[in-house]
């Protein structure tokens, strides 16, 4: 029971990381209606930009995090504008969009590898001693991860429910032609969506690196199918569904380490994905016309 | 001289095996519109299962571990490898081919690939982990008296024959009713559904046939090289096959062949001997991958149909009688009316 509660605590940490990442992927899918297979590489951009800012330039760590998060958002917006956008404008079929993002993942990964190599890196910050809260035990970094995810989730909720941009995003997600017809600047909304999606990917990559301590360029890609599992579990294109999916996947993968070797914990996410696709492919909170 | 002969043989075998991979992907993507983002995993499954069926039981004292080790004769082991690869295709199809958008299938193939890559690397009891399997029995090695060049050239003939057989089969499939159903599904699945075809079954057949063919290529690869480790089937390899198909021309088997010649042989071999940069040993392979990825994207932008586009289907229509022609405003029905499919 003690071990169970302990892993449950780690489950919340993983769930926080997955929540940032799956919300970012899901927001973008909702608005643009195609899956971004290069998303794993965006994680790498975030975690490695932070490394450059903090380890190479010697900036304070929090500032490096902020700069890298914005930086990844800008990279994502740039790619959308100059690589994906033209394909969308030409009305390329879904097939081709997927292949393009898939090709993009190889390009981005290898650009990162040219600059950072294939070895493992670590952030120049100390590992704090574990803090015991009730039955749980967290490092300071893990508490930070949970706090960041909490703040960002509330932020995303406010964005979607209160702001003009968020409402426009939801409108585009429902029906982008109708949104355009009712005077929404869909190009601008798409641009902002890619920026937010990229920022969340970058931030998710950074907190992932904080959690696993040593990371390499492909750490993000290895996690991509876990994010897909969370997104599909919640209902593809559903932001709140993605949060729920991330929570479930995070808890299930970590608690599974009580029963199986922790080397296979992410394979459990694959199992959840398979079961979900067989039983309820539209996800827990289905979106109309997306499955 | 013998070095050059051996090199030419290796290039030919590479060309033939990549051609087989590309033909397999062409049946999945070019014929049926199935996005398989982990082509190379099927190659690895074919190769690994051939190896564990043909090799003697694992010898723990060598610190080499693998499952099975049945020591079957190589023809039976080859069949086992090919069947294993087809079975993986069937399983993926079961999960993702039912009434879902093509995104889901792409996600499941990619997830399966990542999972199996991690599993076969991290778990050294399956296929000897990251070290991989080596000293795998190679057929015809005894016929060649262990002379490497004789063996290579015997293998050029064998893999060439297998490739021709696969090529012939792929062409037969293309013009068969099943192949036509596949292409119709690629264009519009709902229409084919409405005509009463079992689209799930047709797509599943495309998935399994394609995976089986890639598995054949995998068995040939490990028979020729005699070893395979996870480093030999990274995601980058999947892109080589995709680039070959997209550059050559999806849906066209001669295009697939031309693409594997251009990408897998001319480009891959041509850049193999660029000297390493001492300060950044990964620079050249990384740039190669970037170019392969760009090739995929640029070919979709500039020439999505490939260098050799798929031939448009032509159907002869019976000439309409004049009284019908009258009803259509007097315009005569054209005998060579071509309908695009």
Which range among A16-20, A87-91, B162-166, B173-177 shows the weakest confidence by mean pLDDT?
A87-91
Kindly report, residue by residue over A52-102, the tens digit of the pLDDT.
999 999 899 999 999 999 999 999 999 999 999 999 888 778 888 999 999
Q: Which residue bears the tokens 């991958």?
A: B289
Query: What number is the average pLDDT over the span A223-243?
Result: 90
Q: Do A96 and B297 touch (CB under 8 A)?
A: no
pLDDT for B335 equals 47
Can you say how many angstroms the Cα of residue B129 is from the centroid of all Cα atoms in its chain?
Answer: 24
Q: Residue B333: its pLDDT value, please?
A: 47
CATH number of A2-116+138-279: 1.10.3470
Question: What pLDDT, on a 0 to 100 scale, did the predictor assign at position A290?
Answer: 56
Name A101's Cβ contacts closer than 8 Å, sequence gap at least 6.
A34, A35, A36, A37, A38, A84
Question: How far is B203 from B172, CA to CA, in rounded Å?
Answer: 17
Q: Identify which of B33, B106, B286 has the shortest CB distance to residue A114.
A: B286
How many angstroms separate the Cα of B97 from the Cα of each of B28, B66, B100?
Answer: 12, 32, 7
Q: What are the backbone angles phi and psi of residue B286, rounded to the nearest 5°?
A: -65, -45
ipTM for the complex shown: 0.88
DSSP one-letter code for B131 = G
Note the pLDDT tens digit of each residue in A142-194.
Answer: 899 999 999 999 999 999 999 999 999 999 988 888 999 999 999 999 999 99
Q: What is the pTM of this model?
A: 0.89
Say if CB A201 and CB A21 are below 8 A apart. Answer: yes
Q: How far apart are CA A285 and CA A263, in angstroms?
A: 30
pLDDT at A158: 95
Q: Hey, how many other C-beta atoms are within 10 angstroms of the C-beta on B285?
A: 18
Angular region, A98: left φ>0, alpha ψ -120 to 50, beta rest = alpha
Average pLDDT, integer, range B40-57: 92
- The backbone torsions φ and ψ at residue B160, rounded to the nearest 5 degrees and listed phi first, read -65, -45
State the residue for tokens 């869909």: A186
> Alpha helix locations (H) across chain A?
2-32, 39-51, 61-79, 85-89, 94-116, 140-162, 164-174, 176-181, 186-212, 219-234, 239-255, 265-279
Contact residues, chain B, for A99 at CB < 8 Å: 35, 242, 246, 296, 300
Q: How far, CA to CA in Å, does A131 sit from each of A49, A53, A91, A128?
A: 29, 28, 53, 9
Q: What is the pLDDT of residue B330?
A: 43
Instruction: Verify that B317 and B305 share a domain, yes or no.
Output: no
Chain position carrying tokens 């049945």: B70
The beta-carbon contacts of B61-66 under 8 Å, at least 24 apart in sequence, are: B64/B128, B64/B131, B65/B124, B65/B125, B65/B128, B65/B129, B66/B125, B66/B126, B66/B127, B66/B128, B66/B133
Question: Is residue B80 domain-shared with residue B184, that is, in the same domain?
Answer: yes
Angle between helix B102-122 and helix A265-279 axes, rounded to 10 deg: 150
B96, B118, B301 member nearest A277 (Cβ): B96
Residue B107 is nearest to which of A35, A83, A96, comparing CB atoms? A35
pLDDT for position B321 = 57
CB contact under 8 A, B103 and A34: yes
End-to-end CA distance of chain A: 39
For B111, the closest chain A residue by CA position comes to A225
Over 90: is that where the pLDDT of A259 sits?
Answer: no
Residues B325 and B288 grouped into a single domain: no
pLDDT, residue B279, reads 75
CA dist., res. B172 & res. B166, Å (int)? 10
Whether residues B153 and B292 share a domain: the answer is yes
Same domain, B215 and B331: no
The Cα A56–Cα A208 span in angstroms is 20
Q: Which of A174, A118, A278 is nearest to B94 (CA)?
A: A278
Sign of CA dihedral A221, A223, A226, A231: negative
Contact status, residue B44 vs residue B237, Cβ threshold 8 Å: no
Enumerate long-range contacts of A265-272, CB under 8 Å, 24 or more apart. Answer: A266/A222, A266/A223, A266/A225, A266/A226, A266/B118, A267/B115, A267/B118, A267/B119, A269/A225, A269/A226, A269/A229, A269/A230, A270/A225, A270/A229, A270/B111, A270/B112, A270/B115, A272/A229, A272/A233, A272/A248
Minimal Cα–Cα distance from A133 to chain B, Å? 34
Mean pLDDT of B226-248: 90
A136 sits in which H/E element = strand A136-138
Q: What band does B179 get if pLDDT is binned at 50, 70 and 90?
A: very high
B205 and B296, same domain (yes or no): yes
Instruction: With beta carbons under 8 A apart, name residues in chain A contacting B302.
Output: none
d(CA B178, CA B45): 26
pLDDT greater than 80 at residue B86: yes
Tell me the C-alpha distance between B169 and A198, whole Å: 45
User: For residue B336, what are the domain limits?
Assistant: 313-341
Q: Which residues of chain A are within 8 Å of residue B242 when distances are taken between CB atoms?
A: 99, 102-103
Q: What does the block give as tokens for B91?
A: 């399983």
In a 10 Å sphere around its CB, with 0-12 CB exposed, 13-18 middle and 19+ buried, how is residue B126 labelled? middle
Question: What is the average per-residue pLDDT within A110-125?
Answer: 89
Residue among A27, A36, A35 at smallest CA distance from A243: A27
Which residues of A fall within a CB distance of 8 Å from B88? none
Q: How far apart are CA A96 and CA B36, in angstroms?
A: 13
- Note whether B330 and B216 are same-domain residues: no
Residue B42 · residue B85 · CB < 8 Å: yes
Contact B71/A261 with Cβ under 8 angstroms? no
* Residue A102 to residue B106, Cβ atoms within 8 A: yes
CB atoms within 10 A of CB B11: 16
Q: CB A52: neighbour CB atoms within 10 A?
A: 17
Bridge partner residues of A136 (DSSP): A133
- Closest Cα in chain B to A100: B297
Q: Kindly give the pairing relationship between strand A214-215 and strand A121-122.
A: antiparallel
* CA proximity to B260, closest of B273, B248, B249: B248
Name the strand (E) or helix (H) holding B2. Answer: helix B2-25
Same domain flag for B264 and B330: no
Inter-chain residue contact B35 with A95, CB threshold 8 Å: yes
Name every chain A residue with its beta carbon within 8 A of the beta carbon of B123: 263
Q: What is the pLDDT of residue B264?
A: 86
| Pair B168, B293 in one domain | yes
User: For A119-128, B157-166, B204-213, which range has the lowest pLDDT when averaged over its residues?
Assistant: A119-128
What total number of domains does chain B contain?
A: 2
> Token digits for A282?
């539209």
Pair (B242, B336) in one structural domain: no
DSSP code string of B166-196: HHHHHHHHHHSHHHHHHHHHHH-HHHHHHTT
Enumerate residues 6+ apart whose C-beta is below 8 A from B191.
Answer: B184
Q: How far apart are alpha carbons A232 and B283 in whole angstroms?
A: 36
Which span out of A2-16, B268-282, B321-335 was modeled with the highest average pLDDT? A2-16
Of A109, A221, A281, the CB nearest to B104: A281
pLDDT one-digit tens code per residue, B10-28: 899 999 999 999 999 999 9
What pLDDT sits at residue A291? 46
User: What is the average pLDDT score of chain A?
Assistant: 90
Task: Note the maximum CA span of chain A.
Answer: 57
């Amino acid at each position: 029971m003690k071990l169970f509660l302990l892993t449950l605590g780690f489950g919340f940490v993983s769930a926080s990381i997955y929540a940032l990442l799956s919300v970012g992927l899901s927001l973008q899918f909702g608005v643009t209606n195609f899956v971004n297979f290069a998303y794993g590489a965006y994680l790498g951009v975030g975690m490695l930009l932070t490394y450059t800012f903090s380890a190479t330039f010697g900036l304070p760590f929090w500032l490096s995090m902020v700069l890298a998060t914005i930086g990844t958002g800008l990279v994502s917006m740039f790619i959308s504008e100059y690589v994906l956008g033209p394909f969308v404008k030409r009305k390329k079929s879904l097939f081709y969009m997927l292949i393009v993002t898939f090709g993009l993942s190889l390009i981005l990964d290898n650009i990162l590898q040219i600059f950072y190599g294939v070895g493992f890196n670590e952030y120049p910050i100390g590992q704090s001693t574990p803090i015991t809260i009730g039955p749980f035990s967290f490092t300071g970094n893990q508490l930070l991860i949970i706090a960041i995810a909490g703040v960002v989730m509330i932020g995303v909720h406010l964005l979607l429910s209160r702001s003009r941009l968020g409402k426009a995003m939801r409108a585009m997600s429902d029906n982008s032609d109708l949104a355009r017809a009712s005077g929404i600047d869909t190009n601008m909304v798409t641009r902002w969506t890619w920026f937010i999606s990229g920022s969340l990917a970058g931030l998710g990559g950074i907190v992932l690196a904080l959690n696993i301590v040593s990371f390499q360029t492909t750490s993000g890609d290895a996690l991509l199918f876990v994010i897909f599992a969370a997104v599909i579990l919640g209902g593809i294109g559903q932001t709140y569904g993605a949060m729920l999916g991330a929570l479930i996947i995070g808890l299930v993968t970590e608690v599974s380490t009580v029963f199986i070797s922790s080397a296979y914990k992410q394979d459990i996410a694959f199992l959840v994905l398979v079961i979900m696709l067989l039983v309820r492919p539209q996800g827990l909170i289905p979106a109309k016309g997306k499955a | 001289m013998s070095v050059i002969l051996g090199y030419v043989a290796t290039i030919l075998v590479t060309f033939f095996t990549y051609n087989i991979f590309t033909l397999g992907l062409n049946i999945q993507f070019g014929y049926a519109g199935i996005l398989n983002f982990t082509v190379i995993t099927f190659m690895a499954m074919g190769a690994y299962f051939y190896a564990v069926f043909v090799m003697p039981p694992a010898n723990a004292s060598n610190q080499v571990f693998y499952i099975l080790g049945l020591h079957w004769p190589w023809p039976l082991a080859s069949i086992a490898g090919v069947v294993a690869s087809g079975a993986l295709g069937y399983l993926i199809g079961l999960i993702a081919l039912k009434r879902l958008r093509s995104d889901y299938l792409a996600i499941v193939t990619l997830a399966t690939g990542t999972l199996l890559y991690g599993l076969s690397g991290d778990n050294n009891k399956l296929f000897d982990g990251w070290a991989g399997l080596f000293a795998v029995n190679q057929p015809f090695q005894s016929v060649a008296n262990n002379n490497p060049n004789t063996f290579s050239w015997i293998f050029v003939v064998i893999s060439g024959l297998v490739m021709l057989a696969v090529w012939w089969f792929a062409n037969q499939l293309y013009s068969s009713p099943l192949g036509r159903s596949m292409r119709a599904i690629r264009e519009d699945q709902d229409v084919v559904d409405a005509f009463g075809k079992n689209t799930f079954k047709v797509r599943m057949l495309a998935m399994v046939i394609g995976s089986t063919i890639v598995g054949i290529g995998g068995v040939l690869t490990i028979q020729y090289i005699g070893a395979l480790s996870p480093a030999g089937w990274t995601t980058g390899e999947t892109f080589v096959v995709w680039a070959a198909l997209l550059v050559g021309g999806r849906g066209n088997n001669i295009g697939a062949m031309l693409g594997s010649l251009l990408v897998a042989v001319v480009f891959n071999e041509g850049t193999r001997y660029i000297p390493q940069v001492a300060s950044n040993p990964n620079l050249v392979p990384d740039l190669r991958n970037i170019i392969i990825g760009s090739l995929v994207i640029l070919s979709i932008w500039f020439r999505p149909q490939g260098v050799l586009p798929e031939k448009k289907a032509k159907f002869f229509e019976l000439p309409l009688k004049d009284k019908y022609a009258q009803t259509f405003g007097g315009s005569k029905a054209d005998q060579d009316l071509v309908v695009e499919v």
